[in-house]
Amino acid sequence: MLILIAGPYRSGTDDEPAKMAENLRRLEEPSYALFKAGHVPMIGEWVALPVWHAAGGSKVGDDLYEEIFHPVAGRLLALCDAVLRLPGESKGADSDVRIARERGIPVYHRIEDVPGCAGAVAA
């Protein structure tokens, strides 16, 4: 399955790059376990960040950022087979879960619940 990993990226960082990088690292933690189970992990920021940079993005939260980041998740969810929602407050991740449920896409809250990942550890 193509699995969108959703969780905090910008939330709680005050837009500090080091904190956002740490959140991205946390989002990436379960990616290897998903891959080993035969899935393809996906994180919206893996797509949105290069698109934003290519478009000339420079200030987190500006109009260009808003134009790209949230729509990327919606477009990815049209392709994903499941969502893995990691802990932590995040309006974007909550929106991903809402969209997934509206579309009938399974949402998992623990890596162990993803098919093939029983006993897996995120990192």
- Tell me whether residue 45 is in a domain: yes
- Tell me whether residue 118 is in a domain: no
> Tens of pLDDT along the chain (123 residues)?
999 999 999 999 999 999 999 999 999 999 999 999 999 999 999 999 999 999 999 899 999 999 999 899 999 999 999 999 999 999 999 999 999 999 999 999 999 999 999 877 655
Q: Is 0.85 topped by the overall pTM?
A: yes
- Tell me whether residue 81 is in a domain: yes
- Tell me whether residue 122 is in a domain: no
Strand partners, 41: 3
Is residue 111 within 8 Å of residue 117, measured between CB atoms? yes
Domain ranges, residue 93: 2-113
- Tell me whether residue 55 is in a domain: yes
Distance between CA 29 and CA 61 in Å, rounded?
Answer: 25
Total domain count, the chain: 1
- Tell me whether residue 119 is in a domain: no
- Tell me whether residue 120 is in a domain: no
- Spell out where the chain has E strands: 2-6, 40-42, 82-85, 107-108
Strand partners, 6: 85
**Domain containing residue 39: CATH number:** 3.40.50.10400
